Every structure is written in C-alpha cells, then in structure tokens.
Amino acid sequence: MADRTILDMFRLDGRVAIVTGASSGLGAVFARALAEAGADVALGARRADRLTDTQQAVEAAGRRAIAVRTDVSVPEDCQALVDATMGEFGRVDILVNNAGIGTAAPATRETPEQFRQVIDVNLNGCYWMAQACGRVMQPGSSIVNISSVLGLTTAGLPQAAYAASKAGLIGLTRDLAQQWTGRKGIRVNALAPGFFTSEMTDQYPEGYLESQLERVLVGRKGDPDELAAALVFLVSDAGGYVTGTTIPVEGGMLTS
C-alpha cells in the first residue's frame, strides 16, 4: 500500500503467534509485545498454571489469547499446541521458539541425563515446534528461534549442554530458512540475546553478571523490551527481507 508508513510495517494486526516458554521471563515479554503490535497469541509452557498472568497481559493489550500446557520436548505436545491454535484462531503466522532450560555442570561431572534434557528442550523442542507449524503456515509467516550469545561465544561458566544447544539452533535456523523461505514463503531467523533479566540469570552465581558486564560495551544488562522490539522487527513486514540469519542483541559483548 502506497500510504503505508514505516511504523505500519511493524504492525501485526490480524496475525496469530505462538510463543513457547510463555509462563514467565522473556517469553511473557514476547507475548505481550506481539499483542501490543496487534497479534493474537497462543501461549505454551510446561507450567500451565503460570500462564494466567501472560494471558491477562495479552488480553489487556486488546488481543485474544489461549493457554495450552506444552512440553516442547514431546512432539505430540507441540502438535497439540499447533492444533489448538488452528482450532481457536484458524491460522498460525508466527512462531517464537523461546522455551529453554540451562545447566552449569562441569563437563566431567555432567550426567548423560542432564545433557540430553537440555538438548531435548532447547534444540529438539524447537525443531518439533517448527515442524508442526511449518505444516500449516502460509506464505508470509515467520519463525524466530531464541538462541543465545553463548551459541557464539563463551562466558566463564561451564555450560557445554546449553552452549551446544544454542549453537545447534543457529544451524537449524539456517537450514530451515533454506528449505522453507523460497518454497513455502516462511522466513526463519534467530535472536542471540546477551544478558537479560530472567529466571535463568537469577540462578547465576553471585558476582557472575558483574564480572561479565566488563565485556559489554553498553555497560549494562539488556532491557527485555529491547529484545522484544528486535523480535517484532523480525516477525513483521519490517523484517520481510531478512531470513536465515542470527541477530545478536548483546550490547556489544561479541566485540570483546
């Protein structure tokens, strides 16, 4: 449309988004931001009882929401979330693969179960969700995988499983974009956040964040809304010429 403004390109009116890991932290911020931009939102999380606040935030922004208990490491749960979204809204335009867990076990002591669980949620779960969405998404749809700066660098903690899963997610992003952008019209990108306040950062050892902030050119932790703004760019028409890439949002940490 000739009269469409730049800001209009960021609007998501009439679109439907799925956000995993939406019960708290960044997932809740993402869901609210998508609703503020105009999207209806399907919320998935293992702790379904904790989705109420997020659902209310979406509805307070004037949009519709549903909440579905979802363990992304279970392919059937992923399919059920997509089926529920299609049943309620009739479409899926946006997937935000945000569900994730982390460990900080030294590599010689990390158990096979610990390692497998992280990979199963952070990497496999994103694939099952993308796979289920890819079957119903129409041209113009968008997937954003939430990777991490730890998929691109190290940061002083023993996080082999987490780093491996997030680096794997970057590779998965490239390949799905290659498979689906030209053939299906589905753009696939990743965000690589640096340090943002979340349940995961709450578990860091005392003094750890302060020690790492020396590497961050901006000199502070990120505001979750800054990450959400990057997400809205990627899933909206504003990001329509971006696919197969990973955008770091890390305050310059990767320059050090």
Q: Is residue 167 part of a domain?
A: yes
Q: How many domains does the chain have?
A: 1
CB count in 10 Å sphere of residue 159: 21
Please report the pLDDT score of residue 160 as a whole number: 95
Residue 212 inside a domain? The answer is: yes
Q: What sign for the dihedral angle of Cα 240, 30, 15, 134? A: positive
Percent of the chain's residues with pLDDT above 90: 86
pLDDT of res. 139:
98
Long-range contacts of 53-57 (CB under 8 A, 24+ apart): 53/28, 54/22, 54/23, 54/24, 54/27, 54/28, 57/28, 57/31, 57/32
Q: Residue 201: give its domain's CATH number.
A: 3.40.50.720
Is 2 within the bounds of a domain? no
pTM of the model: 0.96
User: pLDDT at position 167, please?
Assistant: 98
**pLDDT confidence of residue 199:** 66
pLDDT of residue 1: 55
Q: Where does the pLDDT of residue 101 fall: very low under 50, low under 70, confident under 90, or very high at 90 and above?
A: very high
Tell me the average pLDDT across 174-203. Answer: 90
Q: Which of 127, 162, 204, 208 is catalytic?
A: 162
162 catalytic? Reply is yes
Report the candidate in 52, 49, 43 with the shortest Cα–Cα distance to residue 20.
43
Asked if pLDDT for residue 202 goes beyond 80, the answer is: no
In which domain, by residue range, is 216 found? 7-249
Residue-wise pLDDT for 145-179, tens only, equals: 999 999 999 988 899 999 999 999 999 999 999 99
pLDDT at 243: 98
Q: Considering the chain, what is the average pLDDT of its residues?
A: 95
Tell whether the model's pLDDT for residue 216 goes beyond 80.
Answer: yes
Residue 121 has pLDDT above 80, yes or no: yes
Position 112 in a domain: yes
The full DSSP string for 34-97 is HHHTT-EEEEEES-GGGGHHHHHHHHHTT--EEEEE--TTSHHHHHHHHHHHHHHHS---EEEE
Residue 255 lies in a domain: no
What pLDDT does residue 197 have? 76
